[in-house]
Structure 1
Amino acid sequence: MPSETSALIEIDRLTKQFGTFTAVDDVSFRVDRGEVVGFLGPNGAGKSTTMKMLAGFVTPTAGTARILGEDVVDRPVAAKRHLGFLPEGAPTYPEMTVEGFLGFIAKIRGFRGAERRDRVARALDLTTLHGVRLQPIETLSKGFKRRVGLAQSLLHDPPVLVLDEPTDGLDPNQKREVRDLLTRMAPEKAIVISTHLLEEVSAICTRAVVIAQGRVVADETPAQLAARGPNLDAVFRDLTLPAAEAA
C-alpha cells in the first residue's frame, strides 16, 4: 500500500550487500516537494548504489525505498512512473539521433502522436539540444551526451528527479543553465542530486546529505556544510574522523 507520509521520496534503513561487502548500510532520509537534496560522499561511499536502489535498478538487501508512496520493489512500474532518473554515465543508444532517442523514450513512456512530439520538443528546449537534435549521440561531446540523459529524465515531467552528477562534463555556461533549470523546477518537485561540487550544493540545494562508508554521516543545510571547510575533501575528513580524534 502507498505510504501516508507527505514526502515524495522515502528511504528507510536501506542496505545493500555484495557478498561480505556492505556498500550501503542502514541509510534513511526523506525528501519533500520543493526540496533539492545534494547527496555527497567520497568515491566508493555508496552514493550511486543508493540512487540505483531508489530508482529500482538494484534490489536492496534490506530496507525500503518509496516514490510517492509506491515501493520501488513491490510496485516498480508505479514507482517509476513518478521518477526521472539520470544514472551514472547517462547510458543511451549511441547510434540513434538525439531526437530519435527521445522519441523512443517518449513512446516507451506511453506518449503517442502530437503529445509525443510535444514532449520531445519540450525536452529539447529545456536542455538546449535543438542544435544537435539530428546528430547521432555517439558523435556528441561528453557534455552534450549528459544533457541528452538529462532530457530523457525530464521527458514525462515527473514529480521526482534523481540525478547522478547532472553537470558532469558541462562547461561553465552549460552548468549554469542546468542549475537554473533545476532551480526553476524545484518548487514542484523533489530532487536528489549526487555531486562532488560544493559550489553546486551551495547554488541549488536546500539540504546536503553526506554518506561515507555506506552510512549517512550528516544531514544539514548547505551553509552548515560549507562552514566545515573550504572544500569537500576537508569536509569528508572532518565528518568521518572517529569522535575522539575529531575532538
Structure 2
Amino acid sequence: MAVKWEWENATAGAVAGFATVAIMHPLDVVRTRFQVNDGRISNLPSYKNTPNAIFTIARSEGSRGLYAGFTPAVIGSSISWGLFFFFYSRAKKRYSRDEEDKLSPGHHLAAAAEAGALVSHGAIQFTAYEELRKLLVDFKSEKAKTKDVEVLNSLDYTFLGASSKVAAILFTYPVQVIRSRLQQRPNQNGVPRYADSFHVIKETARFEGLRGFYKGITANLLKNVPASAVTFVVYENVLKVFNLTRKKD
C-alpha cells in the first residue's frame, strides 16, 4: 500500500507539472528575455514591461515565439515534479513515526532538501508550504472542531502554493539572474561580457544596483506564483481522487 501511495504522489506531481508548463510557459519566455538584457546591448530586443513583451513576441513571432522551448520544458517539469513528490513523500513517511505524527520544520526541511535537487529552490518552497499548511489546518480544524485534513479546499491550496512560491523566489531570484547572464554572455568585439559569477555581481551592482538582481521578477512572479498555485491545487485534488478510489476499494 505504501508503494502505491508513493506512485500516486508521483503521478499527481507529473500531471501538475504538465499543467503548469502548458499554462505558464509564455511568461517563462518573457522572464528569460528580461533577465539576459541589461539595457546596454543594442542588438537585443527591448520591452517596456511584461504585457508589452507578450504582445511584441506574439505579434512578431507568433505562438511559436511564446512557446519556444516548450517541449523540453514540459518534459522536464513533468518528470522533475513527479520525482520530487515521489521522493518527498517517501522522506516524509520515513521521518514520521505514524500517520498522526506531525513533522517538525526541521523534518520538512530535510525531506524537501532530499528531493530538492530535482526542482529549483524546492527545499525553501516546500518547507514554507508545509509549515503554512499545518497552521491553516490547525486554524480551520479548531474552528470546525475537527482534526480532519480535508478541511482544506482548492482556495486554501491556491494560497499555500502561491505564498510558498513567493518566499522561494525572493530568496533565489538573484542567483537565477546571474546564471542567465552567464549563460547568454553577449559579446562586445569578440570579448565575453562576463568572466565569471563575481564579475556579473560586480557589474550588475555597479550599473543597475539592487534592482538589477531582481530584473524581470514581475514576469517571474506572474508566471511562477500562479503556476505554483496551479501545481498544488492539481496535485492535492488528484491525491483526493486517489484517496476516494482507495476507500471505495
Give the structure-2-normalised TM-score. Answer: 0.27
Give the structure-1-normalised TM-score. Answer: 0.27
Larger radius of gyration: 2
| Between structures 1 and 2, the one with greater helix share | 2
Structure of higher RCO (CA pairs closer than 8 Å, 6+ residues apart): 2
